[in-house]
Amino acid sequence: MSTLKHLEAPVFVALTAQGRDLAARLSADWPGSELHGLSGRAEPVEVRFGSVAEHLQELFAAGRPIVGLCASGVLIRTLAPILSDKHGEPAVVALAEDGTAVVPLLGGHRGANEIARTLAEKLSIGAAVTTAGDRRFSIALDAPPAGWRLGNPEHYKAFVAAALAGEKIRLEGVAAWISGSDLPFSKDGTLVIRITEQRAAGSDRELVFHPQVLALGVGCERNADPEELLGLVHKTLEAQSLAAGAVAVVASIDVKADEPAVHAVADHLGVPARFFSADDLEAESPRLATPSDLVFREVGCHGVSEGAALATTGSAGKLVQAKQKSARATCAIARSTGLIDAHGAGRPRGSLSVIGLGPGNAEWRAPEVEALVRQASDLVGYGLYLDLLGPLAKDKIRHDYALGEEEARVRAALDLAAEGRDVALICSGDPGIYAMAALVYELLDRADNPAWRRVAHKVVPGISALQAAAARIGAPLGHDFCAISLSDLLTPWEAIERRLKAAAEGDFVVAFYNPVSKRRTTQLARAVEILSVHRPAETPVVLGRNLGRPGETVTVLDLADLTPDKVDMLTVVLIGSSTTRRVERADGSCWVYTPRGYAKKMTPMEKTPLQAPGDAA
């Protein structure tokens, strides 16, 4: 299945043990694929799910290609209510659980047909591809392979309809993937397929394909207006009658890796942005058309735009447009002798995603978390947190660190991102609450490292322990609350005591993080002593341990009974305010909540508890 490296690996979804066995065999040969199974019926698997409809719809909404080992009707009925954009939806393939039939249902030209054919080859069966052009001509002209662009997709349907009606096609130019198909070619064909990097409008009678052989080198002043650079690029392309679709990459010097204008151009053209060091660009100086000593004094090379374009196209590449200038930007174009591998030139702008897993339960993760982890090349974090990712961590480069190595983790993550990697720094809970996000920004703030500052970075929230504990027991955080870490490793105990006294006097519900450790056993007792001055001994206390993980416990006790031996570092402690209530239930359990004061707005009848049938009046 190595032929599918350019496609996103699918999720194999099994509903039965037989389907699971077939999916396990097929997914084992497919790097990056995942095996999901229905709980209790299709195990063992990497990911279990309880609701077939919910799971399939979540995968589809997240853009994940799906191979469902089930009846096609299951997939059709489940996904039909959420279909909206045929051009943006992922591939969906139905595979009989006994391996006797495979049918691409959705996204035929976005991978489904190719996935189905590859599975069929593996199983020695035929793929039930129904796309007319694919079946007749063994090619999908509206989904060209990597390195090619269809210049006039709006004319595709009419063109293929004419070909299906019997008209012949004249091929002008060289494209092995087209000439090797079963299209009806003829030297005097009335339909035309034109291969060119030049601008061409095309029509219902002529499809235009652009080989991506052009490298666009750009440079600009810091914070240049993106519209200025975009205007210069279009003007430069038009001057040579070159098609934007023939551009494979936008390239520049590495100090511009965080320049919004450069990325705006790349996004506009739908191609990657790649960056070179000054030394790499200076190596191209003998081939520059307009070398500049001024540019060399400023950035260490004699030309940015020309050098970047030439560095991308290799030693055989040639400038087809020397440097063009606007007030604050430059642009140049080089042509390669073949298709440009945009991902093999220079390096990308690195990214760092600071990700919160929540308590660790996969069902509590934000969809954005899973998307960014799948996108990441490298995972950095405490080993236990990386383990919690389960199959998401498969095929990723892991950088495991021990507890206490927080700064080392962040520095390593930033260094990796500065090399052009997509890095995910994994935290439990929420990364902005007593976690790594603050340290990331602190190091960016105080460290004199320009390469770190050029990295793209974002923080992805997760469910914090205080939220998880509150949700498990009711609504203890229903009114004003605060969070205090009892660890004095980074904060003097005197400062922690001041905060405890302020929280006690303010009558806040208080969440304690890091309540005890092997060497710290007195802080929790002192905190209870301070709070007890301002609230009753029977104030409800919630202890949430291993939330969302095996061995989870949630305990409710009185403030007077809270002692350090009842708590460990895996426990979050929620201490109620003076108004927090514990309500006992008939089954012996309870819930805890903190009212916000709605009772003051209720009528006397609303305040009266409802009587059960048969109760005495």
Mean pLDDT of the chain: 91
Mean of pLDDT values over 220-228:
96
- Banded model confidence at residue 365, pLDDT cuts 50, 70, 90: confident
- Higher-confidence residue of 81 and 4: namely 81
pLDDT exceeds cutoff 80 at 460: yes
pLDDT exceeds cutoff 70 at 1: no
Got the DSSP string for 170-193? EEES--HHHHTS---B-TT-SEEE
CA separation for the pair 358, 363 (Å, rounded): 10
Unique residue bearing structure tokens 């305990």:
555
Q: Give the 3-state secondary structure of residue 305.
A: helix
For the ranges 12-16, 26-30, 182-186, 301-305, the lowest mean pLDDT is seen at: 26-30
The DSSP output letter for 85 is: -
For the ranges 1-5, 228-232, 513-517, the lowest mean pLDDT is seen at: 1-5
CA separation for the pair 588, 444 (Å, rounded): 51
Written as six digits, the tokens of 222 are 């810091």
CA separation for the pair 343, 340 (Å, rounded): 9
For the ranges 260-274, 323-337, 513-527, the lowest mean pLDDT is seen at: 513-527
pLDDT of residue 563: 94
Question: Which residues face 334 on adjacent strands?
Answer: 215, 319
pLDDT exceeds cutoff 90 at 128: no
pLDDT of residue 234: 97
Mean of pLDDT values over 241-249:
98
Q: Which domains does the chain have, with CATH numbers?
A: 2-130 (3.40.50.11220), 148-211 (no CATH), 214-344 (3.30.420.180), 351-463 (3.40.1010.10), 466-599 (3.30.950.10)
> pLDDT tens digits for 569-583?
889 999 999 999 999
pLDDT of residue 3: 46
- Please give the share of the chain, as a percent, with pLDDT higher than 90: 76
Written as six digits, the tokens of 263 are 């990325």
For the ranges 270-274, 388-392, 575-579, the lowest mean pLDDT is seen at: 388-392
pLDDT exceeds cutoff 60 at 28: yes
Q: How far from 226 is each of 232, 235, 266, 276, CA to CA, in Å?
A: 10, 14, 11, 20
483's enclosing H/E stretch is strand 481-485
Q: How many residues does the structure list for the chain?
A: 617
- Banded model confidence at residue 612, pLDDT cuts 50, 70, 90: very low
pLDDT of residue 46: 82
- Banded model confidence at residue 610, pLDDT cuts 50, 70, 90: very low
- Contact status, residue 10 vs residue 65, Cβ threshold 8 Å: yes
For the ranges 40-44, 110-114, 376-380, 493-497, the lowest mean pLDDT is seen at: 110-114
Helical spans, DSSP H, in 388-474? 406-418, 436-446, 450-453, 465-473
pLDDT exceeds cutoff 90 at 614: no
End-to-end CA distance of the chain: 74
pLDDT exceeds cutoff 50 at 89: yes
Edge to edge, the sheet with strand 571-575 lists: 481-485, 509-513, 571-575, 540-545, 553-558
pLDDT of residue 603: 58
- Higher-confidence residue of 447 and 231: namely 231
Q: Which residue, 452, 456, 438, is CA-closest to 372?
A: 456
> pLDDT tens digits for 496-529?
999 999 999 999 999 999 998 877 779 999 999 9
Q: At what angle do helices 226-239 and 260-269 cross, to 10 degrees?
A: 50
Mean of pLDDT values over 135-149:
85
pLDDT exceeds cutoff 70 at 534: yes
pLDDT of residue 270: 95
Written as six digits, the tokens of 54 are 């919910």
Mean of pLDDT values over 256-264:
97
> pLDDT tens digits for 465-507?
999 999 999 999 999 999 999 999 889 999 999 999 999 999 9
What pTM value is reported for the model? 0.83
